[in-house]
Structure 1
Amino acid sequence: MILDTIDWAIIIAFFIVSLVIGILVSRQSSKDVSNFFLSGRNMPWWLLGVSMVATTFAADTPNFVAGVIREDGVYGNWIWWSFLLTGMLTVFFYAKLWRKSGITTDLEFYELRYEGKSAAFLRGFRAIYLGVFFNIIIMANVCLAAIKIGHVMFGFSEGQTLIIASMVTVTYSMLGGLRGVLITDFIQFIIAMVGSIWAAVHITNLPQVGGLSAMLRNDLVQSKTAMFPDFTNMEILIPLLIIPLAVQWWSVWYPGAEPGGGGYIAQRMLAAKNEKHATAATLFFNVAHYALRPWPWIIIGLASLIMYPSLESLRAAFPELNPNFVKNDLSYPAMLTFLPAGLLGIVVTSLIAAFMSTISTHLNWGSSYVVNDFYVRFINPKASEKAKVGIGRVATLLMMICAGLLALILEEARDAFNLLLQIGAGTGLLFILRWFWHRINPYSEITAMLVSFLIAILFFINDKQEIPWISIAGHWQLVLGVVITTISWIVVSLLTTPISRQKRDEFNALIFDGKSKFKHIGAKVISFFCGVIGVYCLLFGTGYYLYSSYAYAWISLTISGLCAYIIYRLWNKII
């Protein structure tokens, strides 16, 4: 593809702005680890909420959505739409608790909630397991999307794409810390939304597509537009709707949708000015992530069925790309080749922004684990603030290099998504209950982590065999992983000694102010259901409007508005 001068100007200007932001905030961020990893704990809800949304809008996200639509249809997105329940649980039950804890990373929770050598081991092990290995897998998946976009957009090789895409991101992440990440995330989110919406409008108006109405009437598209699967077809209904809504949302740990909060979502809650800002930021994130962002990607994914009706047509269009990378998720960057100069620059910049926002967050989050929960806790407890920031910057660079190398092995966004789901299967209920059930201890967490990981690896190896040892569908693998892991950690919880009464009292005094753990539980439950129903109705209402089903659209949007009003009335009890 040949980019015009204006396209290059937009891209280069964005790179310069990102670097300038990193340089300007570097002095403030370098003061100590609190500033480098939590921006001094004084960030407003709107900036934190936008940053959460920008981070989950990775370069691989629109690719993933387009691939799901081509394979299953719009209703295939329930495999991630179901995580809205997880998000709303975090908003109304856990956001306030995280901010009250006053910790630097969510892994500090282990020694706040538990005690002894087992708690220390768990904290250190999870720092490396999540902050390094698991984090690198996530970043590698994002790098894979960058490879595909780089080839389609610029004709770059895998190595060229990774080097160019990573240099600026690593530089401002190392300089600016979380403050630099938050500010650039805000700019990146605006560019990403403008780019994706404008691209969807332009693509649907291409002569080959014929406008939104004509596209939706196309035989290739019509069968993919339903927002719910056929309720009489259990082969589709069970894996794509029932299991995600009945099992997956509460039982699976997934980055950005951790039951009870965690990871970079917890990092932003911990960086908030107070509990109100932490709760409001997480609520905004869930509304924007599930209701505001998906439809431009969905529309482009549907249009790709007309332009590239099969994988063969994609291979023919990009013969120089490694055939292993030509999967359905390539359709999104392929559709962007039809954009005109100027708009192409904005959209390419939006994808670069999406890549940078996700990678920068994961680098800062992962390095916070390495520094705070491993290096300072176990290697050099007396390290100076300057040394801590320096170790964080070195960890940032090394993780980026490892993620780029791993990306060369992966093939499709959905493969990594399914693997991450399976690794976290069965651990979710533990993360929900550990704030309240005193029997849960470090051995419970260690058991859940190891059992779920071993099951995931066994299924992964099994599926890669020419003749699998056992033939079992992916969704039943997930359910089996949830059942075995959940039973394992519950049994261990009941057989091992709970933490001391003194430690439990200290934890409850800090988190719950010594009051009942279930204060205002009714208001929180009502708000939870209103949040879930309201966001889903906003999502469906937008879809029905695009489908020209105006009666359903107004009914959905009215219900969404009513739910928002109820939450507003209950807000003071929630926080």
Structure 2
Amino acid sequence: MPFETLDYLVVAGYVVLMIVVAWIAKTRGQETLDDFFAGGKNLPWWLVGVSMVATTFAADTPLAITGLVAKQGIAGNWFWWNWMISGVVTVFIYAKLWKRADVLTDVEFIELRYGGKPASFLRGFRALYFAFPFNCIIMGWVTVGMAKILTVVTGADQWIAILVLYGLIAIYIAISGLWGVIVTDFVQFILAMIGTIALAYFAVDHVGGLAELKTQLSNSVGFDVLSFNPFTNPEIAVTTALIWVGMNWWAAWYPGAEPGGGGYIAQRMFSAKDERNAVGGTLLFNILMYAVRPWPWILVGLVALVVFPNLSDPETGYPLMMLEVLPVGWMGLLMVAFLSAFVSTISTQLNWGTSYVVNDFYKRFMKTPEEFESKEKAQKHYVLVSRIATLLMAALGVGVSYFFDTVSGGWEFILSLSAGIGGVLMLRWFWWRINAWSEITAMIAAMIGAVFSNQMGYEFAWSMIYTTAFSTIAWLIATFISKPESDETLKKFYAKVHPMGNWKRFSDGIPSPDGLIPSLINIAMSLLAIFFFLYGLGQIFFFNIGTGIAFLIGGCIFVWAVVRRI
């Protein structure tokens, strides 16, 4: 059903909401970089966690999952479900460490962990590398997803609409900073979930209910599309399934699922009140991301398989279902849901990317605080530069969008380009021998490996294997042939962060307050809880309600036990 007046009024109401939040954020004050990029570092766990998941709830994600379901069934989602492992490890191993580090960005952490010119070079290089190529690629594929939705649903010229959206978002973020991003994230996540659940309901009802959907899928699809098992799926190579489950979660850097934390996930941890709120917020994020969000998208993807079985671009099945089943008013609400998801992700990417450019490059190498008459003047100048950089980065994001045709293609490109760097990012907290050259070598080797495997025509799984092996061997060699960091640097790092691991000679007899065994128990229980929720809902929808309820109860018990231990 095309857009009607009521739908436009619903969208207009959302725009008014954004304006109000931006105005409140401006009156609240954004006088320092801590305010602009970390929300003042005093946010509660529930706001931190919802903001994390809202950021990953981009307009591109439902389309990508619809495409995965069409090609590989429910099991195809293990392409990204495997990240729950790194996510939960971040909760109980790394969240408290990031909060103790007390930095503004994860790139600033580099000069806390390492010292000398190699650390300075790595900080500057990584700031620009992740702010521009990586960040703009992410904004590019998110924009492609939103462009497809706008084209299918409204018939408008997609790039004019995207330019208008980017302009509004960039101005909004330049005014409101991270506090405005996080507050609107909370509202946007609620709107997005209401919209996607409503679409799932109307879609399933359109084909006669869940039982009828299951029957039609078994009659029209040539494999068990409802199976969770990627190893028995004929559409998924065993090698690919092994890469998903055994390598992706620790080997490659991906936004929202960085090995050892990092990126905007670390940014949200920095914004939390304290360690407990950082841990609680990150746990909430992982439960919402992997256990709550996926099923409305999956259900719509399954219905699209039945209603639109021969689409040349399966990702468009999602917006086509919107046109097919949504009544007047609901179409406007779902467009608000997608706008919310798009705004949430792009606003975070702009704020996060700008934090690297300003805090870790401009402030560090171009105009240092010592050049100003006072600290207040320095902070005022840096906030102004941050606003300008936000607008420029938005323009770059639009430009990069032209180079992507599919959303999942962007996902695979990022994973391939960063394959192998995850190991050093995780181990640098616990192994004193890792130095700045370890990270520099890992990043360069990953780029070389990704380009080489692409030129050789390797498919995704083999590209990941080759690049991960090549970059891991390279950074290990670099670690052992280069000098370790100075004792002074390592003692300073340990004194501030107190990590577990091989730090005895630098600890001055002060043990780490963290315990490995309790952390591993929390990780195991949390992973079981998330999987029980995910699998239990699948059982309720398509197989056995009693079994599904039992799994949900088991998941609740595990969550209760974990929360008591935090």
Same fold (TM over 0.5): yes
Deviation string, structure 1 residues 420-457 (Cα, Å, up to 9, x no partner): 01011101111110011111111110111011112222
Partner of 1:271: 271
| Counterpart selection for 1:406 from 400, 404, 415 | 400
Partner of 1:317: none
1:311 deviates by 2.2
Partner of 1:511: 497
Give the letter aligned to residue 330 of structure 2: L
Partner of 1:372: 359
1:138 aligns with 2:124: no
1:216 aligns with 2:214: yes
Alignment of 1:62-81 (within 5 A): 62-81=62-81
Deviation string, structure 1 residues 202-261 (Cα, Å, up to 9, x no partner): 11111xx12221011112357311111353869633313x22221111111111100110
Q: Distance in 2 between matches of 1:267 and 1:148?
A: 30
1:525 aligns with 2:520: yes
Q: Distance in 1 between matches of 2:49 and 2:306?
A: 36
1:559 aligns with 2:550: no
Whether the 8 Å CA contact 1:83–1:249 is kept in 2: the answer is yes
Alignment of 1:133-532 (within 5 A): 133-206=133-206, 209-218=207-216, 219-220=219-220, 223-231=224-232, 236-240=237-241, 242-312=242-312, 327-338=313-324, 339-382=326-369, 384-460=378-454, 462=455, 470-512=456-498, 514=507, 515-517=510-512, 519-532=514-527
Q: Distance in 1 between matches of 2:111 and 2:230?
A: 45
Partner of 2:31: 31
Structure 1 residues 239, 200: closer, same or farther in 2, change over 3 A?
A: same
Aligned-residue sequence identity (percent) comes to: 37
Whether the 8 Å CA contact 1:23–1:172 is kept in 2: the answer is no
Tell me, which stretches of 5 or more residues in structure 2 are unaligned? 373-377, 500-506
Q: Distance in 2 between matches of 1:400 and 1:78?
A: 31
Structure 1 residues 518, 310: closer, same or farther in 2, change over 3 A?
A: farther
Task: State the SS of the aligned residue for 2:109.
Answer: helix
Q: Distance in 2 between matches of 1:516 and 1:481?
A: 37
1:518 deviates by 7.4
Q: Where has structure 1 moved over 6 Å in runs of 4 or more?
A: none
Q: Distance in 2 between matches of 1:375 and 1:281?
A: 30
Deviation string, structure 1 residues 115-144 (Cα, Å, up to 9, x no partner): 001101110111110012210000011111
1:459 deviates by 3.0
Alignment of 1:563-574 (within 5 A): 563-571=558-566
1:197 deviates by 0.2
1:21 deviates by 0.6
Q: Distance in 1 between matches of 2:246 and 2:82?
A: 9
Task: State the SS of the aligned residue for 2:511.
Answer: coil
Give the letter aligned to residue 473 of structure 1: E
Deviation string, structure 1 residues 400-436 (Cα, Å, up to 9, x no partner): 1111111122100011100001011101111110011
1:69 deviates by 0.3
1:118 aligns with 2:118: yes
Q: Distance in 2 between matches of 1:529 and 1:369?
A: 34
Whether the 8 Å CA contact 1:430–1:445 is kept in 2: the answer is yes
Q: Distance in 2 between matches of 1:94 and 1:134?
A: 23
Partner of 2:532: 537
Q: Distance in 2 between matches of 1:556 and 1:424?
A: 36
Whether the 8 Å CA contact 1:29–1:39 is kept in 2: the answer is no
Partner of 1:467: none
1:566 deviates by 2.9
Q: Distance in 1 between matches of 2:187 and 2:554?
A: 32
Give the letter aligned to residue 298 of structure 1: I
Give the letter aligned to residue 477 of structure 1: S
Tell me, which stretches of 5 or more residues in structure 1 are unaligned? 313-326, 463-469
Give the letter aligned to residue 444 of structure 1: S
Whether the 8 Å CA contact 1:436–1:517 is kept in 2: the answer is no
Give the letter aligned to residue 209 of structure 2: G
Report the aligned-residue RMSD. Answer: 1.6
Partner of 2:375: none
TM-score under structure 2 length normalisation: 0.94
Out of 391-400 and 343-352, give the one that drifted further: 391-400
1:331 deviates by 1.3
Whether the 8 Å CA contact 1:29–1:179 is kept in 2: the answer is no
Task: State the SS of the aligned residue for 1:103.
Answer: coil
Give the letter aligned to residue 109 of structure 1: F
1:52 deviates by 0.3
1:558 deviates by 3.3
Deviation string, structure 1 residues 43-75 (Cα, Å, up to 9, x no partner): 111011000000000010000100000011100
1:385 deviates by 1.4
Q: Distance in 1 between matches of 2:514 and 2:194?
A: 42
Q: Distance in 2 between matches of 1:16 and 1:335?
A: 28
TM-score under structure 1 length normalisation: 0.92
Q: Distance in 1 between matches of 2:424 and 2:513?
A: 18
Give the letter aligned to residue 258 of structure 2: E
Whether the 8 Å CA contact 1:111–1:120 is kept in 2: the answer is yes
Q: Distance in 2 between matches of 1:520 and 1:329?
A: 45
Give the letter aligned to residue 99 of structure 2: R
Give the letter aligned to residue 94 of structure 2: Y
